[in-house]
């Protein structure tokens, strides 16, 4: 399933992203009116974080949940299950293809906008090098979540409700809308134990603060990897369970 | 020709049947209502997090933001309840099933509207009302009958503003093949409606007031109750903005409907 | 001396070609032209499309004229792209004509859509106009309110529908649970509920099996007979036309190709069949050889054509009135090694092509 929304429509997606960045600019500028740093982050830091958060959010949208939901409804899933290629990997590579196409089309105008219009300053550091890997793992985690939602839709026949709940949980708990440093300490502690920060907070901090030192950065990457493995395992379990049910009920 | 009374009666009959039929999907209804409830409060949650670190945003306190947000939630509910299927209009247009709206002796927008009554939107409405009451109490706002009347009028106008923006975006389906992102853009814009207009500079404030008037969905009308002494009289015109925009939307709809000819020959 | 009715303008400056009672559908020199964008490739192309003036003119309907009288059941046929849907859309007030006259029940449809909708019924083959999630009876009740059908008429009609199609048994079923055949019967019934003066049926039997088709045809016929409703039947199924229509109008590329009784067309094409054979070791020489053999055996003037159709199949089109199918079949099978045989009706496109080539002249 192509992540790229083709031709004339695509302009609107990019436009939407730009509006978000502009609004964020004004919002955070207002917040930082008389302050240099909040929770250790400067306006420049936070603005980069939020703006790139929006770009990455679009990138990581896999629609795997809707894709599976659709195919289950149409009964096509039975076809895929009989093929030798594993359905999950098939779905993953389709989504990955879409993501890579979007990468150039979305991130490029965003970066240009940030540098040329808003004159942000990007720091250089090892974080920038690790960022692509971080993003890739984040993509995987996001994909596994979407995939599992899609499978659960198979049982509940309600794709919209589950999908929106997932999206809200991730938006609020992952730090894509606001850096996690802003959350009350007690809540922060919980959030850092959950997988959601591995999707957005980790990669975004790598690019916002690339100078944190190899140890910090690599441990962030490691935690991401760990979650990716856990969620992958979970998704396999759910997948096999669903296949069993599907085979019994006749598809 | 049907009179307004007859249209209303017909509307009630159709929606009663529609709701009865939809209620059969129990699980979906429950999950969707819960999902809607949380989605409404998510942004508020983010604001709460934010206000943990700053005392005020562009001159507004947290509880005032809650009021604006509650107003926003109520104002967007009619759009949700009546036009939630606008997201599917592009499929109907592309597949030709949209033609059925031409064949009945009914106003086409009425017929189109009658096909949807999103019950889960009522959850959002209820949550908004509760939140508004809570915020009013905290802010010590006194609700005289006149004020309540004013509230209803401003909500009505605000609802029309959102409906107009979204339905106009949906009408893009009549002319563009992949019109989904236009609606996506309209959706994104409406998400910014609860943000204070005071954060923007001249050009953007102008844009969000006069060109894509999302300011009239919640911020400007809410001022009538939050800062009545500080606002210019123009703010009291907000209901008329809604009506004017809706007339414009109806014009776009009519143009779209007249230019559409279905598939095939 | 007074003037006879010719094309002499009378004192009001109106030309009458002849005095006639008002026909229910009156179409004269009707045309509908579309401007179609010559689409360009790529993203930059789409952007330029928004501003371009590079159109070509598509003449979907190009000067057609006919009158349909009340109570007639007319078959409206032609290949895809002939302009049938476009004409119907003009009759139902969806499209505005580019030029010419169109009157339905004496009124131009486009300016009066809502008003005209009261006297029309429409059934579109593949898409229901009933309410998908509601029980069948509720759809009818809603229609009763929309069309302001009085209780007595409503009861009469529901009784009629029950007699004809057993509608009562379906009352409580949701429309989306009905089979295609049941849904079609409901849609057709619903289109007659408000006593329309004219009903447009578009592909009413498409996708249905033979027994259901027969049922639908008899229902349509009965409704036409009892209600004296004018029916315009658009279809690709010649069986529909044969069973129901006295008159057919054949449209091709926006023009009326034929407008007249069905007997003539039926006499010419009713007996046509296509014999599809799958010949082993097929090659172009086989086709030539087959042609020669057929010409040799049956003579040149027999209207037999041979053509290659889908992969490895050969189509032999024959006129059974002139040459019996069995003779042809035995010739083919004795001359070649045949692995499979199918016999199908002649297609609409072939009929139209033959008429276009002057078969009816």
Task: Assess contact for B226 and A44: CB atoms under 8 A.
Answer: no
More confident residue, C11 or C218: C218
What domain count does chain B have? 1
Compute the average pLDDT of residues B203-222. 89
- The token duo for C137 is 């009876």
Q: How far is CA A80 from CA A70, B236, C179, C247, in A?
A: 13, 59, 28, 51
Chain A closest CA to B36's CA: distance in Å? 8
Identify the pLDDT of residue C252.
87
Q: Is a pLDDT exceeding 50 seen at residue C182? A: yes
Q: Would strands C247-252 and C73-77 be described as parallel, antiparallel, or unpaired?
A: parallel
B185 vs A15: CB contact, 8 Å cut-off? yes
Among C38, C40, C41, CA closest to C56: C38
Among C345, C346, C349, C279, CA closest to C311: C279
What is the average pLDDT score of chain B?
89
Half-sphere exposure of A84 (CA within 13 A, CB side): 0
Alpha-carbon distance C108 to B195, whole Å? 52
Task: Assess contact for B132 and B95: CB atoms under 8 A.
Answer: no
Task: Assess contact for C137 and C171: CB atoms under 8 A.
Answer: yes
Identify the pLDDT of residue A117.
81
Residues of B in contact with A39 (CB under 8 A): 53
In total, the C-beta contacts within 8 angstroms joining chain B to chain C are 73
Q: Which helix (H) or strand (E) holds A47?
A: helix A43-59
Q: Which of B105, B108, B181 to mutate to test the interface with C (most CBs of C within 10 A)?
A: B105
Report the percentage of chain B scoring pLDDT > 70: 98
Compute the average pLDDT of residues A7-33. 84
Identify the pLDDT of residue C10.
45
Identify the pLDDT of residue C120.
95
Q: DSSP label at C135?
A: B
Identify the pLDDT of residue B262.
64
Identify the pLDDT of residue C48.
61
User: Which residues of chain B have a Cβ shorter than 8 Å from any chain C Cβ?
Assistant: 1-2, 9-10, 13-14, 17-18, 21-22, 96-97, 99-100, 102-107, 258, 261-262, 264-265
Chain C closest CA to B20's CA: distance in Å? 9
- The token duo for B109 is 């927008």
B265 vs C84: CB contact, 8 Å cut-off? yes
CB-based burial label for C268 (10 Å; 0-12, 13-18, 19+): middle
Q: What is the pLDDT of residues B181-202, one digit of tens each?
A: 889 889 989 989 999 988 998 8
Residues of A in contact with C47 (CB under 8 A): 8
Task: Assess contact for A98 and A3: CB atoms under 8 A.
Answer: yes
Beta bridge partners of C33: C59
State in Å, rounded, how far the first CA of chain A is from the last one.
Answer: 22
Residues of C in contact with A10 (CB under 8 A): 43
A165 vs B32: CB contact, 8 Å cut-off? no
Spell out a b/e string for A23-49, using b for 16 or more CB atoms within 10 Å of the CB, else e.
bbbbbbbbbbeeeeebeebebbbbbbb
Query: By three-state DSSP, how is residue A32 classified?
Result: coil
C117 vs B9: CB contact, 8 Å cut-off? no
Q: What is the pLDDT of residues A32-54, one digit of tens each?
A: 988 888 888 889 889 999 999 98
Among A98, A100, A91, A103, CA closest to A64: A91
Sign of the dihedral defined by the CA atoms of residues B141, B62, B34, A75, in that order: positive
Alpha-carbon distance B169 to A16, whole Å? 13
Q: What is the pLDDT of residues B119-156, one digit of tens each?
A: 889 989 999 999 999 999 999 988 999 999 999 999 99
CB proximity A32 to C under 8 Å:
no
Nearest residue of C to residue A5 by CA position? Answer: C43
Reported ipTM:
0.86
Nearest to C146 among B106, B262, B265 (CB): B106
Residue by residue, what is the 3-state secondary structure of chain B? CCCHHHHHHHHHHHHHHHHHHHCCCHHHHHHHHHHHHHHHHHHHHHHHHHHCCCCCECCECHHHHHHHHHHHHHHHHHHHHHHHHHHHHHHHHHHCHHHHHHCCCCCHHHHHHHCCCCCHHHHHHHHHHHHHHHHHHHHCCCCCHHHHHHHHHHHHHHHHHHHHHHHHHHHHHHCCCCCHHHHHHHHHHHHCCCCCHHHCCHHHHHHHHHHCCHHHCCHHHHHHHHCCCCCCHHHHHHHHHHHHHHHHHHHHHHHHHHHCCCCCC
Identify the pLDDT of residue B102.
93
Residues of A in contact with C50 (CB under 8 A): 8
Task: Assess if residue B211 is contained within a domain.
Answer: yes
Residues of C in contact with B104 (CB under 8 A): 117, 129, 146
Nearest to C117 among B104, B262, B264 (CB): B104
Chain C closest CA to B124's CA: distance in Å? 24
- Domain spanning C271-345: which CATH class is it, in words? alpha beta
Identify the pLDDT of residue A82.
60
Chain B closest CA to C184's CA: distance in Å? 15
Half-sphere exposure of B236 (CA within 13 A, CB side): 9
Nearest residue of B to residue C134 by CA position? Answer: B21
B185 vs A19: CB contact, 8 Å cut-off? yes
What is the average pLDDT score of chain A?
81
Identify the pLDDT of residue C19.
46
Q: Is a pLDDT exceeding 90 seen at residue A15? A: no
Task: Assess if residue B32 is contained within a domain.
Answer: yes
Chain B closest CA to C318's CA: distance in Å? 31
Which pLDDT band, with edges at 50, 70 and 90, does A58 fall under? confident
Nearest residue of A to residue C49 by CA position? Answer: A8
More confident residue, B224 or A64: B224
Q: Tell me which architecture the domain covering C25-267 has in CATH.
A: 3-Layer(aba) Sandwich (3.40)
Alpha-carbon distance A144 to A239, whole Å? 11
A7 vs C50: CB contact, 8 Å cut-off? no
In total, the C-beta contacts within 8 angstroms joining chain A to chain B are 106
Residues of C in contact with B17 (CB under 8 A): 131, 134, 138, 142
A157 vs B27: CB contact, 8 Å cut-off? yes
Which pLDDT band, with edges at 50, 70 and 90, does A1 fall under? very low
Residue located via tokens 């093929």: A83
Beta bridge partners of A42: A37
Q: What is the pLDDT of residues C197-209, one digit of tens each?
A: 999 999 999 888 8
User: Which residues of chain B have a Cβ shorter than 8 Å from any chain A Cβ?
Assistant: 27-28, 30-32, 34-36, 38-39, 42, 45-46, 49-50, 52-54, 57-58, 176-182, 184-185, 188-189, 192, 195-196, 198-201, 204
Compute the average pLDDT of residues C126-146. 92
In total, the C-beta contacts within 8 angstroms joining chain A to chain C are 8
Chain B closest CA to C269's CA: distance in Å? 25
Alpha-carbon distance B224 to B233, whole Å? 9
Among B31, B65, B67, CA closest to B49: B65
Give the list of residues 6+ apart from residue B207 with CB closer than 8 angstroms, or none.
Answer: none
Where does residue C144 fall: left (phi above 0), alpha (psi -120 to 50 degrees), or beta otherwise? alpha
Nearest to B50 among A164, A165, A182 (CB): A182
Q: Which helix (H) or strand (E) holds C214?
A: helix C210-227
Nearest residue of C to residue A8 by CA position? Answer: C46
Task: Assess contact for C354 and C269: CB atoms under 8 A.
Answer: yes
Alpha-carbon distance B173 to B91, whole Å? 9
Alpha-carbon distance C153 to C253, whole Å? 42
Helix pair angle (B238-259, B145-170), 10° resolution:
30
Mean pLDDT is lowest, of B86-90, B112-116, C238-242, for: C238-242
Q: Is a pLDDT exceeding 90 seen at residue C361? A: no
Q: Is a pLDDT exceeding 80 seen at residue C279? A: yes
A171 vs B36: CB contact, 8 Å cut-off? no
Sign of the dihedral defined by the CA atoms of residues A169, A171, A174, A178, in that order: negative
Q: Which of B23, B109, B265 to mutate to test the interface with C (most CBs of C within 10 A)?
A: B265
Residues of C in contact with B97 (CB under 8 A): 127
Identify the pLDDT of residue A3.
36
Task: Assess contact for C57 and C218: CB atoms under 8 A.
Answer: no
Q: How long is chain A? A: 251
B49 vs A178: CB contact, 8 Å cut-off? yes
Q: Is a pLDDT exceeding 60 seen at residue A183? A: yes
Chains with 3+ CB–CB pairs under 8 A to C are: A, B
Q: Is a pLDDT exceeding 60 seen at residue C269? A: yes
Q: What is the pLDDT of residues C101-133, one digit of tens each?
A: 999 999 999 988 999 999 999 998 678 899 988
Report the percentage of chain B scoring pLDDT > 90: 54
B178 vs A7: CB contact, 8 Å cut-off? yes
Measured in whole angstroms, the distance separating CA A174 from the mean position of its chain's CA atoms is 9
Q: What is the pTM of this model?
A: 0.82
Mean pLDDT is lowest, of A75-79, A201-205, B28-32, B228-232, for: A75-79
Residues C87/C93/C95/C97 CA torsion (nearest 10 deg): 70
Domain boundaries, chain C: 25-267, 271-345
Q: DSSP label at A11?
A: H
Determine phi and psi for C86, rounding to 5 degrees.
Answer: -60, -45
- The token duo for A60 is 């990581």
Among C80, C185, C75, C59, CA closest to C130: C185
Nearest residue of C to residue B7 by CA position? Answer: C146
Chain B closest CA to A171's CA: distance in Å? 8
Identify the pLDDT of residue C142.
95
Residue located via tokens 């054949």: C250
Identify the pLDDT of residue A151.
80
State in Å, rounded, how far the first CA of chain C is from the last one.
Answer: 40
Q: Which of A5, A6, A8, A15 to mutate to test the interface with C (most CBs of C within 10 A)?
A: A8
Alpha-carbon distance B123 to B27, whole Å? 16
């Amino acid at each position: 399933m192509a992540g790229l929304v083709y031709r004339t429509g695509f302009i609107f997606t990019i436009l939407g992203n730009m509006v978000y960045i502009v609004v964020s600019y004004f919002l955070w500028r207002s917040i930082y009116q008389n302050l240099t740093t909040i929770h250790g982050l400067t306006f420049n830091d936070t603005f980069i974080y939020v703006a790139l958060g929006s770009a990455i959010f679009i990138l990581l949208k896999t629609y795997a949940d809707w894709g599976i939901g659709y195919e289950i409804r149409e009964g096509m899933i039975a076809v895929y299950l009989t093929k030798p290629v594993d359905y999950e990997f098939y779905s993953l590579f389709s989504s990955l293809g879409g993501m890579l196409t979007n990468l150039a089309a979305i991130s490029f105008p965003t970066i240009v906008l940030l540098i040329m219009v808003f004159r942000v300053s990007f720091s250089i550091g090892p974080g920038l090098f690790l960022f692509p890997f971080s993003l890739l793992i984040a993509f995987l985690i996001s994909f596994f979540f979407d995939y599992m939602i899609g499978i659960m839709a198979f049982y509940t026949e309600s794709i919209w409700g589950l999908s929106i709940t997932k999206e809200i949980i991730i938006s609020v708990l992952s730090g894509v809308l606001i850096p996690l440093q802003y959350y009350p300490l007690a809540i922060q502690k919980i959030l850092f134990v959950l997988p959601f920060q591995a999707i957005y907070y980790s990669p975004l901090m790598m690019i916002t603060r690339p100078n944190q030192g190899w140890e910090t950065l690599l441990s962030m990457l490691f935690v991401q990897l760990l979650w990716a493995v856990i969620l992958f395992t979970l998704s396999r379990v759910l997948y096999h369970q669903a296949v069993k049910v599907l085979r019994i009920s006749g598809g | 020709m049907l009179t307004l009374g007859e249209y209303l009666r017909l509307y009630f009959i159709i929606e009663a049947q529609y709701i009865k039929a939809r209620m059969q999907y129990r699980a979906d209804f429950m999950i969707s209502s819960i999902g809607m409830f949380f989605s409404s409060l998510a942004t508020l949650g983010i604001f709460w997090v934010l206000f943990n670190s700053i005392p005020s945003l562009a001159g507004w306190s947290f509880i005032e933001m809650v009021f604006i947000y509650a107003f926003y939630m109520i104002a967007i509910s009619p759009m949700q309840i009546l036009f939630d299927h606008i997201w599917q209009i592009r499929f109907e247009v592309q597949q030709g099933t949209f033609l059925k709206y031409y064949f009945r002796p009914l106003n086409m927008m009425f017929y189109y509207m009658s096909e949807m009554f999103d019950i889960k939107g009522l959850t959002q409405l209820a949550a908004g009302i509760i939140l508004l009451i809570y915020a009013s109490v905290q802010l010590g706002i006194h609700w005289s009958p006149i004020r309540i009347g004013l509230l209803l009028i401003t909500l009505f106008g605000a609802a029309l503003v959102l409906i107009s923006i979204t339905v106009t975006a949906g009408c893009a389906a009549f002319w563009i093949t992949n019109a989904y992102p236009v609606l996506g853009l309209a959706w994104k814009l409406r998400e910014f409606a609860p943000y204070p207009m005071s954060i923007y500079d001249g050009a953007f404030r102008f844009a969000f007031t006069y060109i894509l008037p999302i300011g009239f969905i919640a911020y400007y009308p809410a001022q009538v109750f939050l800062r009545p002494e500080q606002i210019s009289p123009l703010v009291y015109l907000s209901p008329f903005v809604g009506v004017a925009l809706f007339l414009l939307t109806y014009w776009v709809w009519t143009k779209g409907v007249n230019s559409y000819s279905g598939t095939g020959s | 001396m007074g003037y006879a009715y010719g094309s002499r303008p009378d004192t009001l400056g109106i030309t009458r070609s002849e005095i006639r009672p008002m026909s229910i559908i009156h179409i004269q020199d009707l045309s509908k032209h579309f401007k179609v964008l010559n689409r360009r490739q790529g993203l930059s192309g789409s952007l330029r499309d928004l501003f371009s003036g590079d159109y070509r003119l598509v003449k979907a309907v190009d000067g057609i004229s006919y009158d349909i009288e009340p109570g007639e059941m007319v078959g409206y046929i032609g290949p895809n792209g002939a302009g049938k849907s476009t004409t119907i859309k003009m009759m139902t007030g969806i499209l505005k004509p580019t030029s010419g006259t169109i009157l339905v029940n004496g009124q131009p449809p486009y300016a009066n859509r809502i008003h005209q909708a009261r006297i029309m019924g429409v059934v579109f083959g593949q898409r229901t106009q009933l309410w998908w999630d509601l029980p069948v009876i509720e759809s009818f009740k809603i229609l009763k309110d929309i069309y302001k059908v009085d209780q007595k008429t409503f009861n009469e009609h529901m009784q009629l529908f029950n007699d004809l199609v057993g509608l009562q048994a379906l009352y409580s079923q949701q429309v989306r649970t009905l089979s295609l055949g049941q849904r079609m019967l409901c849609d057709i019934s619903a289109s007659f509920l408000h006593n329309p003066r004219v009903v447009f049926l578009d592909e009413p039997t498409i996708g249905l099996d033979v027994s259901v088709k027969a049922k639908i045809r008899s229902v349509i016929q009965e409704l036409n007979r009892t209600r004296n409703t004018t029916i315009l039947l658009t279809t690709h199924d010649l069986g529909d036309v044969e069973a129901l229509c006295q008159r057919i109008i054949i449209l091709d590329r926006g023009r009326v190709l034929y407008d007249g009784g069905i007997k003539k067309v039926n006499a010419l094409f009713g007996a046509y069949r296509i014999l599809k054979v799958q010949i082993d070791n097929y090659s172009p020489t086989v086709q030539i050889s087959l042609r020669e053999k057929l010409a040799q055996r049956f003579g040149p003037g027999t209207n037999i054509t041979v053509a290659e159709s889908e992969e490895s199949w050969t189509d032999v089109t024959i006129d059974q009135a002139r040459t019996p199918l069995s003779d042809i079949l035995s010739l083919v099978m004795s001359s070649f090694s045949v692995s499979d045989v199918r016999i199908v009706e002649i297609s609409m496109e072939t009929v139209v092509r033959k008429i276009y080539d002057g078969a009816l002249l």
